[in-house]
């Protein structure tokens, strides 16, 4: 008996087709994974089921939920279904909660809307539900406000709101994407437990195959609003028929090309025992200033042609190190030496600057929207004191655009005309124009879809061969670091807790933190192995 059955669902928004002929079904106690890259229509599928769609949308087809066609249900009736029968978990726990209400109030609000009980009883049952999602009253009283909780704890509150009335169906739209790996692992465990205990049907929407491989019973792979692949989870092992889904799996299981050039023994960059403290800037009459130690006695080095990974969760001090190496932030102790020259904050000579470039995470924020691509890519040429003619500049930019896999004539365009992956290619072109020795990749591929991520990583390997580059990969994504780097540094609360050969660390981590990090990071290979 199907709990939900979607039949030939079509959605168009302002005459633009978003979803085309979707059909799938879900049973109680089952986890259905919907996988797709950005723009595939997976979130719109979720929003169609609860009929929360933007203006100008028209929906045709059938959504049979508990023997009732939701498309023919009035908005008032939908209000009673949402929350009571269908729970929803959002991607962004930072914005899904009202910052002015306590967590107890928010959960009890859901209960009071659907059950006619008084405030006191509702608060009490909210407390038991919060307890169930792992926020016990002793540690997290329901009088707490969202800002007093971490991202993972907030997402637990969102889950508590979704399960408060024991719905039969829960839709989770990328519930763990915004969270650190260890938190993500715990949340997925919790969701699986709730599905099992309450006999819920969970529709899990994600872009990450490795997350879904470990939990779903059935999967659907979507592309451009169409289902391209469907079946039991074990089709991931070797039952995929569609080329797109095969590529997606391959890209998720990315293995970098092997480096032909040998890693040299000579040190390119040496970071020697650096520390950075941030002090509370406000003036106070009494008491000592609060000091936050972002980086504590960190040392490492990078050799020529070497790829080094720096791994850690958010807030561990990764970005501070980037800024320190770039000479944008003063360090209070220690030295950073690049090819024998010390990098001093605010006082970096052009000679050092030329050897050092950076690619940032956000493909949208790292370009001035008012400049064209020619101007964007040639910006670092400012460091060349000798004047370069506009003609030379143009030729250089055209050549680089072709090197990074774009069209040479793209130099006239503005940045908003490019997709996320193309923007990252432009960022790489910008970092290459001075032929640097070291490029820092600060989460440079984290915001990209897996198939595009694989292309960019391939490009980076190719470029490092032809340009003789070293990379410092800064990332929270272990599988990425594992696939491409030869040496890895694991960072926690401003300190490097473990470092060494990538293979050795992943096979036999010695520090407890590294162990937990590796254990909790979703591993597609091992989950696939477990599938029958």
Partner 1 sequence: MMPLLKNKNLSNLSFSFWVGSICVLFVFLLAIVSFFWTPYDVTSLEISNRFKTPSYNHFLGTDHFGRDILSMIMVGTQTSIAVAMVAVGIGILFGLPLGLIAAAKRGTFFDDLVMRFNDLIFAFPALIIAILITAVLGPGAFNAIIAIGIFNIPVFARVARGAALTQWSKEYILAAQVSGKGTILISIEHIIPNILNLLIVQATIQFSLGILAEAALSYVGLGAQPPIPSLGRMLADSQTMISIAPHMAIFPGLFIVITVLGLNLMGDGLRDYFDPKLKVSNS
DSSP reduced 3-state for 308: strand
Contact between 416 and partner 1 (CB under 8 A)?
yes
Q: Tell which positions 79-138 bind partner 1, by CB under 8 A.
A: none
**Minimum CB–partner distance for residue 97 and partner 1 (Å):** 21
Alpha helices in 439-532 (DSSP H): 450-467, 478-484, 502-507, 512-520, 524-530
CA distance 262 to 33: 42
Q: How far is the CB of 38 from partner 1 (least distance, A)?
A: 15
Name every residue whose Cβ is closer than 8 Å to that of residue 124 and which is 6 or more positions away in sequence: none
Q: Applying CB under 8 A, does 314 fall inside the site for partner 1?
A: no
Residue for token digits 């408060």? Answer: 164
- Nearest to partner 1 of 161, 356 (CB atom): 356
Asked if residue 140 binds partner 1 (CB under 8 A), the reply is: no
Of 350 and 501, nearer to partner 1 (C-beta) is 350
Alpha carbon separation from 520 to 182, 254, 479 (Å, rounded): 5, 19, 11
* 164 contributes a contact to partner 1 by CB under 8 A: no
| Residue 291 near residue 278, CB atoms below 8 Å | yes
Residue 255, exposed/middle/buried by CB under 10 A (0-12, 13-18, 19+)? exposed
Kindly write out the interface string for residues 429-468 of this chain, putting x where it contacts partner 1 by CB under 8 A and - elsewhere. Answer: -x--------------------------------------
Distances from the Cα of 197 to the Cαs of 122, 165, 424, in angstroms? 22, 14, 44
Nearest to 44 by CA among 20, 62, 24, 27: 20
266: left (phi > 0), else alpha (psi -120 to 50), else beta?
A: beta
328 contributes a contact to partner 1 by CB under 8 A: yes
Residue given tokens 């030939």 in the structure block:
8
Provide the minimum distance between the beta carbon of 376 and partner 1 in the complex, in angstroms, as a whole number: 8
Rounded CA separation 160/391 (Å): 62
Q: Which is nearer to partner 1, 147 or 382 (CB)?
A: 382
Q: Which of residues 11-30 bind partner 1 (CB under 8 A)?
A: 14
18: nearest Cα among 39, 47, 46: 39
Judged by beta carbon, residue 55 or residue 391, the one nearer partner 1 is 55
Consecutive H or E run containing 398: helix 390-403
Choose which of 122, 187, 308, 326 interacts with partner 1 (CB under 8 A). 326
Confirm or reject binding of residue 365 to partner 1 (CB under 8 A). yes
Residue among 98, 350, 395, 466 that touches partner 1 (CB under 8 A) = 350
* Torsion of Cα atoms, 448 then 449 then 451 then 453, to 10°: 20
| C-beta closer to partner 1: residue 13 or 96 | 13
Select the span of 362-370, 493-501, 511-519, 521-529 touching partner 1 (CB under 8 A).
Answer: 362-370
Q: Which of the stretches 68-76, 163-171, 356-364, 481-489 binds partner 1 when contact is defined by CB under 8 A?
A: 356-364
Nearer to partner 1, 255 or 290 (CB): 290
Question: In this chain, which of 380, 420, 468, 500 binds partner 1, going by CB under 8 A?
Answer: 380
In the complex with partner 1, the residue whose CB is nearer, 250 or 277, is: 277
Task: Check residue 361 for interaction with partner 1 (CB under 8 A).
Answer: yes
CB nearer to partner 1: pick between 259 and 345: 345
Binding of residue 424 to partner 1 (CB under 8 A): no
333-338 and 226-232 beta bridge pairing: unpaired
Contact call for residue 368 and partner 1 (CB under 8 A) = yes
Pure H helices in 41-145 = 42-49, 75-81, 103-114, 119-132
Nearer to partner 1, 328 or 332 (CB): 328
Cβ within 8 Å of residue 13, ≥6 positions away: 53, 54, 56, 57, 58
Residue closer to partner 1 by CB (options 244, 414) is: 414
Task: Give the total of residues touching partner 1 (CB under 8 A).
Answer: 30
* Cβ closest to partner 1, residue 117 vs residue 291: 291
Q: How far is the CB of 409 from partner 1 (least distance, A)?
A: 18
Residues 6+ apart with CB under 8 A from 290: 279, 280
- Determine phi and psi for 218, rounding to 5 degrees: -130, 150
Nearer to partner 1, 92 or 362 (CB): 362
Considering the rule CB under 8 A, would residue 414 count as an interface residue with partner 1? yes
74 touching partner 1, by CB under 8 A: no
What does residue 444 show for φ and ψ, rounded to 5 degrees?
Answer: -65, -25
Q: Is 61 in the site for partner 1 (CB under 8 A)?
A: no
Give dist(CA 467, CA 364) in Å, integer: 26
Crossing angle between the packed helical segments 119-132 and 151-163, to the nearest 10 degrees: 120
Among 358, 404, 460, 505, contact with partner 1 (rule: CB under 8 A):
358
**Which residues are near partner 1 by CB under 8 A?**
14, 54-55, 281, 326, 328, 348, 350, 353, 356-358, 360-362, 365-370, 379-383, 414, 416, 427, 430
């Amino acid at each position: 008996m199907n709990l939900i059955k979607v039949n030939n669902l079509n959605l168009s928004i302002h005459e633009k087709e978003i979803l085309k002929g979707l059909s799938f079904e879900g049973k109680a106690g089952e986890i259905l994974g919907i996988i797709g890259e950005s723009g595939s229509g997976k979130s719109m599928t979720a929003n169609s089921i609860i009929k929360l769609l933007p203006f100008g949308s028209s929906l045709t087809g059938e959504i049979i939920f508990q023997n009732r066609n939701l498309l023919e249900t009035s908005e008032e009736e939908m209000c009673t279904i949402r929350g009571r029968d269908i729970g929803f978990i959002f991607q962004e726990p930072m914005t899904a909660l009202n910052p002015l209400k306590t967590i107890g109030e928010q959960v009890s609000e859901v209960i009071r809307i659907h059950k006619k009980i008084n405030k006191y009883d509702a608060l009490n049952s909210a407390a038991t539900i919060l307890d169930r999602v792992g926020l016990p009253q002793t540690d997290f009283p329901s009088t707490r406000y969202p800002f007093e909780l971490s991202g993972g704890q907030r997402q637990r509150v969102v889950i508590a709101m979704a399960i408060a009335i024991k719905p039969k169906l829960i839709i989770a739209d990328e519930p763990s994407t915004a969270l650190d790996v260890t938190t993500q692992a715990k949340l997925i465990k919790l969701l699986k437990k709730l599905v099992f205990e309450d006999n819920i049907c969970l529709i899990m929407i994600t872009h990450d195959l490795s997350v879904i491989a470990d939990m779903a019973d059935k999967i659907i792979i979507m592309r451009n609003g169409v289902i391209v692949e469907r079946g039991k989870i074990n089709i991931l092992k070797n039952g995929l028929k569609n080329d797109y889904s095969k590529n997606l799996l391959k890209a998720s299981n990315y293995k970098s090309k092997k480096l032909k050039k040998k890693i040299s023994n000579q040190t390119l960059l040496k970071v020697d025992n650096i520390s950075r403290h941030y002090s509370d800037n406000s003036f106070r009459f009494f008491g000592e200033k609060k000091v936050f130690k972002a980086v504590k006695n960190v040392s490492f080095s990078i050799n020529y042609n070497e790829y080094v990974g720096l791994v850690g969760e958010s807030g561990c001090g990764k970005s501070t190190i980037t800024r320190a190496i770039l000479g944008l932030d003063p360090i209070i102790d220690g030295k950073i030496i690049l090819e024998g020259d010390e990098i001093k904050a605010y006082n970096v000579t052009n000679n050092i600057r030329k050897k050092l470039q950076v690619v940032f995470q956000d493909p949208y924020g790292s370009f001035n929207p008012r400049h064209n691509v020619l101007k964007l890519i040639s910006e670092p040429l400012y460091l060349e004191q000798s004047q370069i003619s506009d003609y030379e500049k143009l030729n250089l930019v055209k050549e680089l655009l072709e090197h990074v896999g774009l069209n040479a004539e793209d130099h006239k365009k503005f940045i908003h005309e490019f997709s996320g992956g193309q923007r990252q290619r432009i960022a790489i072109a910008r970092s290459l124009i001075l032929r640097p020795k070291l490029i820092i990749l600060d989460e440079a591929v984290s915001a990209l879809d897996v198939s595009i991520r694989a292309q960019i990583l391939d490009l980076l390997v190719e470029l490092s061969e032809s340009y003789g580059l070293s990379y410092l990969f800064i990332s929270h994504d272990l599988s990425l670091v594992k696939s491409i780097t030869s040496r890895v540094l694991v960072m926690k609360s401003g300190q490097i807790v473990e470092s060494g050969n990538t293979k050795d660390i992943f096979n036999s981590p010695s520090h407890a933190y590294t162990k937990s990090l590796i254990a909790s990071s979703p591993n597609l290979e091992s989950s696939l192995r477990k599938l029958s």
